[in-house]
Chains A and B, each alone.
Chain A
Amino acid sequence: MGRYHFIFPRWSNLLLPAAVVAGMTAPLYVAFMVAFGFSPKSTDVGYQPVQPIPFSHAVHAGELGIDCRYCHNTVEVAAHAAIPPTQTCMNCHTQIHPESKLLEPLFHSYETGRPVEWVRIHDLPDYTYFNHSAHVMRGVSCVECHGRIDTMERVWQEHTLSMGWCLECHRNPAPHVRNPDLVTQLEWGWDMDAAERIAEGDRWLEINDLHPSQDCTTCHR
């Protein structure tokens, strides 16, 4: 026997109930972490910045029925969906509300030639190559990723745009494809029931011979 003796102090008996409590609260912790991970705070869903001009998609795309492609005119041929230049706005706004205070930044831009500084909402990581034309021309509607833009007064991000979310559709595309002629008809299909919608999707998958790729290199080049 050495001169020093060690026995566990009495309070160490508390370790057992403490371990039990920790074990029981572990599911709560997991639930909290998962909820936090999926919450809009982490995923950017609902991101709705204030734009330099209070442009209303609800008015232009919804009430007036202007086709998406009138402004975002590159979406059928290019990877990038163009933000329209000031000139596109001025096609109408030389005549409509030419004195509006709210449109002041637009007129200023038109006079000086400096573009309006719109705030980007849908922003993918730089290592992800998303191609608008590849999707739009195969019958993936704008609404599948952007939501009902035609009802949004000020646009927000509708979906997470995470990789898992992309893959969800690449693995099971039927509920998300349609007749390519109807891609900008955002309200199309909302009155269908799920089975009907999937049948329609399957039909167009077959017609256009669609096989969405799940290779890494499809998006990460």
Chain B
Amino acid sequence: MTTLPIDNPIDELSDDPRQRAPLVLNHHEFGTVTAEILRANEAKKPPMAWYIAFVISFSLMSSLGLLVGYLVVTGVGVWGNNNPVMWGFPIVNFVFWVGIGHAGTLISAILFLFRQKWRTSINRFAEAMTIFAVICAGLFPGIHIGRVWLAYWLFPIPNQMDLWPQFRSPLLWDVFAVGTYFTVSLLFWYVGMIPDLATLRDRATNQVKAIAYGFFALGWRGSMRHWHRYERAYLLLAALATPLVLSVHSVVSFDFAVSQLPGWHTTIFPPYFVAGAIFSGFAMVLSLAIPARELWGLKNFITMRHIENMCKVVLLTGSMVGYAYGMEFFMAWYSGEVYESFAFINRAFGQYAWAYWIMVSCNVICPQLFWFKAVRRNVWVIFIITLFVNLGMWFERFVITVTSLANDFLPSSWGWFQPTWVDVMTFVGSFGLFMTLFLLFIRFLPVLAIAEIKGVMPEADPHAHHGHDGEADA
């Protein structure tokens, strides 16, 4: 194989197939990588934009807390949920947030097992995003049950009533699926962070930080034995997490597919939901990564090549989602089922047609722009498209949940769902919770996987300077 120059710090978007684009720009030493990534953590004060974002997020989170309190004290009547649409915003929001939480594990686990080295720059905060999204998701079924103080009935705990949750119900499977997903994601995130926490500990500038990071670094010294065990553990956790990427949203889709409502009772739901989840997850990663790399000065690590790769994933999964929308219509017609056909015609042309067409425009049409290289390389356009995708994916869940419930078999029982201000503000408030956690994360924890990034630099390859097979196979 021809030897190519390994130093190509400028052209991060090289399309020369003989040479992979470098994953880290403008760095030739490990020390400068650490310093640059941790600069924002170790700065005395974060940038002004961080404070502004934090004040806004924290206020929204507080309003979420107040509204949940209002709900608990008053009852679920404060929401728009009512016969026949018993699953209003809470379930829409639950599915929306769980979906967002899918990119993290996909990036960390599946891309890890497939040796996709470009994942190293984005996996840490994608995992963090996953965990915070699942926290937001877990909130909604918890408060949707009405009597919040009995939320422990969701779990199969032996009790004097001799009463168990309905094991045949996908709602219970959900409890297990989301619970497992959260636990494994949290472990994966934390285990991966241990070497970087030790770095923060060793560079700490005061006693409090040294003890706090030191406690969570679990006495990491970076010995050969530590690394050996760490890498084993990480690999095992990746293997454990991989099936979860597919299983969790499949189970969430069962909430709908197992019931017998037209528009819900279809076998396409699990793959369609998983594709949608990865679609929305990557869109959210992009929405967060683009401003974060700008403000946190991470452009050398989250390069345009990374952004472009993620755009391609969004394009692929968006097309899969679009295919699923089309296939749903085809099956509705092909089945000859009058109720099924009605459900879909009603979605596109009925009382919620506006929501349906918002969904189609945002999810199917919007990402098709990523076919164009110029679009994939313009961060502003990407940022706007990903915001539209997030909007569209929320509307997808709204369309599925509300249209099928509002217009089922019997016209006499049809209804119209009207959210209340509490519904809307609770949803907006969940963004406050999400962003508050995320902002705390980028301020206090290593936002990129420092140790892993060093591993994908050409300098990590012992043969790098020998002039043969020039680069670490990035």
Contacts and interface: CB of A to CB of B under 8 A. Distances in A.
Partners in one complex: yes
Interface of A: 1-8, 37, 43, 160, 162-165, 167-168
B211 A168 contact: no
A4 B160 contact: no
Interface residues of B, number: 18
A7 B217 CA distance: 10
A7 B214 contact: yes
A8 B214 CA distance: 8
A218 to B, nearest CB: 13
A163 B219 CA distance: 51
B167 to A, nearest CB: 15
Contacts of A2: 201-205, 210
B205 A163 contact: no
A164 B162 contact: yes
A35 to B, nearest CB: 14
Given A6-B210, A6-B214, A8-B219, A1 B203 contact: yes
B201 A163 contact: no
B162 A163 contact: yes
B74 interface: no
B159 interface: yes
Contact of A4 (B159, B162, B205): B205
B207 A163 contact: no
B161 interface: yes
12 contacts: A2-B203, A2-B210, A6-B213, A6-B214, A7-B214, A8-B219, A37-B160, A43-B160, A162-B161, A163-B160, A167-B162, A167-B163
Interface in B149-169: 159-163
Which 3 pairs from chain A and chain B are nearest by CB?
A: A6-B214, A164-B162, A163-B161
B161 A4 contact: no
B202 A164 contact: no
Contacts of A4: 204-207, 209-210
Contacts of B214: 6-8
Interface string B375-402: 0000000000000000000000000000
A164 B161 contact: yes
A125 to B, nearest CB: 11
Contacts of B163: 163-164, 167
B160 A5 contact: no
B210 A5 contact: yes
B219 A7 contact: yes
Contacts of B205: 2-4
B146 to A, nearest CB: 14
B169 to A, nearest CB: 14
Interface string B194-222: 00000001111111011101100001000
A162 B160 contact: yes
Contacts of B161: 162-164, 167
A6 B218 CA distance: 11
Given A8-B214, A8-B219, A1 B162 contact: no
Give the residue among B160, B203, B209, B211 with the most A Cβ atoms within 10 A.
B160
Given A6-B210, A164-B161, 13 more contacts: A1-B202, A1-B203, A2-B201, A2-B202, A2-B205, A5-B202, A6-B204, A6-B211, A6-B213, A7-B214, A164-B160, A164-B162, A167-B161
A178 B383 CA distance: 75
A160 B160 contact: yes
Contacts of A168: 162
Interface string B399-443: 000000000000000000000000000000000000000000000
A7 to B, nearest CB: 7
Nearest to A8: B219
Contacts of A1: 202-203
